[in-house]
């Protein structure tokens, strides 16, 4: 079932079921803790009434020993209860903590996997910083609510329920007092929890915006500094942080008000208990030991309710984070595909676009687009900037999805080809090459299971770009910075073409592969492109004449339509952009 069709909360239940064993153990020992809370006051009553007092034990006890022996027995029972309570508290807390850790780890992996599987359209509507906040900070808030709050909530609720039942057996007055207190606490928690949840959600939203602003500014730091925009970016970031802080403070105020109101009412209730107990002693309707039992239960109610109010704020923050994570998981722009791990047979590596339509932001880019590329053919697509050429290319690896029509490889629709098989079939060299931190050779074989340094060396030589790397201090062992900022644009492109060779795909897409490189390196890259694409099905998108020399056919993309053209027409149409000598030089290759 697709994530978008799942009801909210279902996914959280999926993760909870993965740790149901630990949750069951935690609940079991929480019940033991609650039982100890229920039993603990009674040994003290026996000591006061039957050891120090004159009230005999009930005959059903069958006790015939001395008072001193009874004192030893009751004190021993109190010690045993304390020991059992300590062990059960440890096991319960550990079980819930482990369950919460497993829950958060599985959730984080699920969210990350969900993000990685989304097409480009998904990221055009969302900022990377906010996605990172949901992936890390929000999941951590959920984990904190699970680990710190669930054990306390479970123990407190079980203890309170048991105490209410016992007090009901002792007298109606006690029951009414506790129930009235419970109603107030529930209403108080419900009111303030809504505020905590709302303010926490807003605070986290602004935190995500701040992270996005910081990530964007750091990534484009050269542009920020050279355009004198450091103060502007600093102001933007600080404004978002202030908004996040304001809502966080509002959440803290709500939590403090919730704690203080519940604590005040609890203290008043205990004062009422003490007053009633004192009157009962004077009227001799209750023994001193029973008064100790009642006041002990009053204190036992006080502590769990106070814990509930303290943890309610953490739960409110966790619930707000849960909403944001579920919102992300329910957002799914990916079209359904084959989930099998088995390869499907293909009729070669021919490519076909059949009646394809695409729109962006409500604007139609093209409609009823048809194109066929025979196996082993290399075609070029040219056209004005922004006309939609790259959109056509990105549909093949399913980075973008058509609104209508279908794209096929070897006669099969892309929807019918498993994603792992499609990734093996298609090598895509985008306009902007992304370089990961690490060595050059690690970047060359990125994503290839089982590949080693020797494979990277072989790919660099096959692509004809090894000479470019030899001038570096450590050759292909040179460690590059994140995004390859320590390399030139041409060196990054050489890594990209070597990466394409290493993939050994049957279909290759080159999207403006020589933009921004010098003429000398352009010659090297064009030679590499020709070698890499030979014998393979290829789509080349470029404005550069040299890049198109090795293509078999050329198509011009204009006004949402693909029209087959000739190289002569293309280059003659660029007379106003290129010296005639360069055009004659190109035409002389034929």
Q: What confidence score (pLDDT) does residue 4 get?
A: 42
Rounded distance between C-alpha atoms, residue 76 and residue 68, angstroms? 12
The answer to whether residue 341 sits within a structural domain is: no
H/E stretch holding 428? strand 426-429
| CA pseudo-torsion sign 94, 99, 100, 106 | positive
Cα separation of 491 and 144, whole Å? 45
How many Å apart are CA 371 and CA 561, to the nearest integer? 10
**Of 579, 556, 578, which is closest to residue 567 (Cα–Cα)?**
556
Question: What stretches of 283-380 show up as alpha helix (H) in DSSP?
Answer: 288-330
Task: Tell me if 42 is assigned to some domain.
Answer: yes
281 with 360, same domain: the answer is no
pLDDT score recorded for residue 457: 92
Query: 409 and 505 in contact (C-beta within 8 Å)?
Result: no
Residues 149 and 297 in one domain: yes
Comparing CA positions, the residue from 441, 497, 435, 445 lying closest to residue 472 is: 441
Cβ neighbours for 45, distance < 8 A, ≥ 6 positions apart? 287, 289, 290, 292, 293
**For residues 114 and 3, is the Cβ–Cβ distance under 8 A?**
yes
In sequence order, which residues have a C-beta less than 8 Å from that of residue 363 and are 6 or more positions away?
none
Nearest to 269, CA basis, from 166, 152, 182, 153: 182
Strand-pair partners of 404: 357
**Contact call for residues 451 and 502 (beta carbons, < 8 A):** yes
Tell me if 151 is assigned to some domain: yes
Task: Note whether 26 and 336 are within 8 A (CB).
Answer: no
Cα(212)–Cα(235) distance, integer angstroms = 14
CA distances for 76 relative to 63, 300, 568, angstroms? 16, 21, 102
Q: d(Cα 323, Cα 379) in Å, to the nearest integer?
A: 48
Q: Which residues of the chain have pLDDT under 70?
A: 1-16, 50, 53-54, 56, 58-64, 170-175, 178, 222-223, 226-227, 273, 277, 280-281, 284-289, 298-303, 333-340, 516, 567-590
Provide the CB-side half-sphere exposure for 517 (13 A, CA): 27
Cβ neighbours of residue 183 closer than 8 Å, sequence gap 6 or more: none
Instruction: Answer for the pair 301, 162: CB distance below 8 angstroms, yes or no.
Output: no
226 and 82 belong to one structural domain: yes
CATH for 440: 3.40.50.300
Do residue 380 and residue 240 come from a single domain?
no
Residue reference for tokens 């279909």 = 507
CATH classification of the domain holding 193: 1.20.1560.10
339 in any annotated domain: no
Query: 237 lies in which domain range?
Result: 3-330
Beta carbons of 304 and 156 less than 8 angstroms apart: yes
DSSP codes of every residue in 295-314: HHHHHHHHHHHHHHHHHHHH
Query: In whole angstroms, what is the distance from residue 224 CA to residue 216 CA?
Result: 10
- Does residue 276 fall inside a structural domain? yes
Closest alpha carbon to 143 in 111, 188, 189, 180: 111
Three-state DSSP state, 509: strand
Burial 496-520 (b: 16+ CB within 10 A, else e): bbbbbbbbebbbbbbbbbbeebeee
Q: Are residues 294 and 426 in the same domain?
A: no
Q: So what's the pLDDT on residue 573?
A: 61
Task: Report yes or no on 50 lying in a domain.
Answer: yes
The reply to whether 444 and 397 lie within a common domain is yes
Q: In this structure, is residue 102 part of a structural domain? A: yes
321 and 416 assigned to the same domain: no
Domain assignment of residue 340, yes or no: no
Judgement on whether residues 411 and 496 belong to the same structural domain of the protein:
yes
Q: 360: helix, coil or strand?
A: strand
Helices (H), 10-147: 10-18, 20-39, 41-46, 67-116, 120-124, 128-133, 139-144
Which two tokens mark 26?
């935690």
Beta-bridge partners for 412: 409
Q: Is 439 helix (H, G, I), strand (E, B) or coil?
A: strand
One domain, residues 488 and 580: yes
To the nearest 10 degrees (0 to 180), the angle between helices 288-330 and 230-282 is 160
Specify whether 65 is located in the same domain as 189. yes
User: Do both 357 and 318 map to the same domain?
Assistant: no
- Which residues, listed in sequence order, are joined to residue 429 by a DSSP beta bridge? 510
Q: Is the model's pTM score more than 0.85?
A: no
Based on the fold, state whether residues 408 and 375 are members of the same structural domain. Answer: yes
Helix (H, G, I), strand (E, B) or coil at 192: helix
CB 316 within 8 A of CB 247: no
Long-range interactions of 10-18: CB distance < 8 A, separation 24+: 11/110, 11/326, 11/329, 12/107, 12/322, 12/326, 15/103, 15/106, 15/107, 15/110, 16/99, 16/103, 18/102, 18/103, 18/106
Domain count, the chain: 2
């Amino acid at each position: 079932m697709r994530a978008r069709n799942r009801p909210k909360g279902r996914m959280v239940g999926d993760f909870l079921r993965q740790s149901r064993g630990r949750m069951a153990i935690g609940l079991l020992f929480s019940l033991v803790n609650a039982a100890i809370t229920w039993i603990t006051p009674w040994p003290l009553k026996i000591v006061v009434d039957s050891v120090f007092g004159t009230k005999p034990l009930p005959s059903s006890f069958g006790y015939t020993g001395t008072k001193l022996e009874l004192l030893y027995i009751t004190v021993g029972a109190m010690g045993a209860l304390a020991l059992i309570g300590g062990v059960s508290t440890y096991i319960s807390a550990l079980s819930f903590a482990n369950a919460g850790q497993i829950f958060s780890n599985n959730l984080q992996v699920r969210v990350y996997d969900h993000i990685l599987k989304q097409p480009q359209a998904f990221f055009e509507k969302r900022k990377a910083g906010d996605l990172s906040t949901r992936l890390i900070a929000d999941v951590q808030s959920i984990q904190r609510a699970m680990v710190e709050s669930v054990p306390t909530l479970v123990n407190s609720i079980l203890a309170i329920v048991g105490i209410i039942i016992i007090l009901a057996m002792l007298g109606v007055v006690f029951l009414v007092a506790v129930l009235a207190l419970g109603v107030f606490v529930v209403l108080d928690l419900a009111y303030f929890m809504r505020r905590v949840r709302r303010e926490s959600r807003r605070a986290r939203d602004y935190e995500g915006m701040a992270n996005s602003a910081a990530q964007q500014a750091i990534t484009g730091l050269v542009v920020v500094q050279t355009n004198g925009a450091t103060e502007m970016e600093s102001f933007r970031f600080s404004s978002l942080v202030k908004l996040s802080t304001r809502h966080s403070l509002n959440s803290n105020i709500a939590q403090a008000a919730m704690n203080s109101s519940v604590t005040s009412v609890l203290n008043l209730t205990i004062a009422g208990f003490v007053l009633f107990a004192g009157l009962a002693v004077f009227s001799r309707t209750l023994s001193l030991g029973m008064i100790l039992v009642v006041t002990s239960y009053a204190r036992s109610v006080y502590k769990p309710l106070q814990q509930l109010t303290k943890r309610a704020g953490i739960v409110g923050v966790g619930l707000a984070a849960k909403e944001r994570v579920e919102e992300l998981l329910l957002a799914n722009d990916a079209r359904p595909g084959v989930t099998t791990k088995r390869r499907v047979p293909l009729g070669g590596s021919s490519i076909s676009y059949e009646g394809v339509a695409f729109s962006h932001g409500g604007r139609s880019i093209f409609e009823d687009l048809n194109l066929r590329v025979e196996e082993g053919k290399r075609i070029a697509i040219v056209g004005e900037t922004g006309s939609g050429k790259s959109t056509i290319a990105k549909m093949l690896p399913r980075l973008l999805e058509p609104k209508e029509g279908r794209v096929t490889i070897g006669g099969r629709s892309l929807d019918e080809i498993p994603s792992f098989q499609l990734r093996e079939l298609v090598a895509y060299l985008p306009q902007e090459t992304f370089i990961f931190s690490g060595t050059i050779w690690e970047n060359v074989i990125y994503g290839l299971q089982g590949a080693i340094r020797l494979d990277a060396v072989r790919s660099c030589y096959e692509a004809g770009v090894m000479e470019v790397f030899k001038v570096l201090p450590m050759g292909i062992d040179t460690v590059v910075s994140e995004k390859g900022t320590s390399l030139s644009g041409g060196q990054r492109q050489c890594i990209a073409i070597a990466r394409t060779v290493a993939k050994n795909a049957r279909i290759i897409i080159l999207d403006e592969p020589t933009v921004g490189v010098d003429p000398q390196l352009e010659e090297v890259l064009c030679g590499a492109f020709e070698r890499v694409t030979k014998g393979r099905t290829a789509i080349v998108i470029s404005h550069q004449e040299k890049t198109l020399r090795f293509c078999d056919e050329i198509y011009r993309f204009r006004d949402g339509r693909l029209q087959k053209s000739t190289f002569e027409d293309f280059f003659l149409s660029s007379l106003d952009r290129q010296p005639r000598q360069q055009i004659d030089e190109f035409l002389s290759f034929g």
